[in-house]
């Protein structure tokens, strides 16, 4: 018996080319999507790292001022120096901007507080004078403390940019022996 011939089973060349083209388009879209997600993840990780650096820097500065010793505080718009209580004594602390690095100096040892900084400004608050650019602003304030200190850090470089301002209330300063508190 004779069987009728069956047509060849398979795909035509046109069908294969169309399938490959569709697969290539889908693969290209997938690669673009993965690239976008990885780029966003890298940018987010960089910003989170920078934010962590900023938080650590402000904790260090606030901790130093919270432990300020009963000694004169001297500051300008670009730097500040004071004594801080440590282990039953006091150590000299100062802050400055060196290049694009915000530094803390304690007892001659320099510590990087924050890098990629464009500028650092300090202000000192007192009543009735308000915010001042230096401390002491007059000879009468030589042994006094301001009520608060503010630091403004202009950020530069990768990650976050802008200005960060932190206001730190100083602890109440004890009166020297025999002194009388001034009435506001």
Question: Mean pLDDT of successive 10-residue segments in the chain (184 residues)?
Answer: 66 90 91 85 77 91 89 89 86 93 92 93 90 87 86 84 91 58 44
Look at the pTM and tell me if it is higher than 0.75. no
Rounded Cα distance, 77 and 152, in Å = 10
Answer whether 80's CB lies under 8 Å from 149's CB: yes
**Residue pLDDT, tens place only, 53-81:** 899 999 999 999 988 888 888 999 999 99
């Amino acid at each position: 018996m004779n069987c009728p011939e069956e047509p060849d089973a398979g795909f035509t060349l046109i069908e294969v080319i169309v399938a490959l083209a569709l697969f290539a388009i889908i693969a290209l879209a997938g690669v673009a999507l993965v690239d976008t997600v990885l780029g966003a993840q890298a940018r987010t990780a960089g910003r989170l790292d920078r934010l962590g650096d900023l938080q650590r820097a402000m904790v260090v500065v606030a901790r130093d001022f919270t432990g300020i010793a009963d000694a004169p505080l001297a500051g300008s718009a670009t730097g500040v120096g004071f004594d801080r209580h440590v282990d039953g004594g006091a150590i000299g602390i100062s802050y400055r901007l060196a290049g694009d690095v915000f530094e803390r100096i304690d007892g001659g040892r320099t510590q990087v507080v924050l890098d990629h900084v464009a500028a650092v400004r300090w202000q000192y608050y007192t009543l009735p004078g308000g915010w001042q650019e230096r401390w002491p602003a007059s000879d009468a304030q030589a042994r006094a403390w301001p009520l608060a200190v503010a630091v403004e850090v202009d950020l530069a470089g990768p990650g976050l940019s802008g200005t960060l301002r932190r206001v730190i209330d100083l602890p109440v300063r004890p009166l020297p022996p025999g002194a009388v508190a001034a009435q506001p």
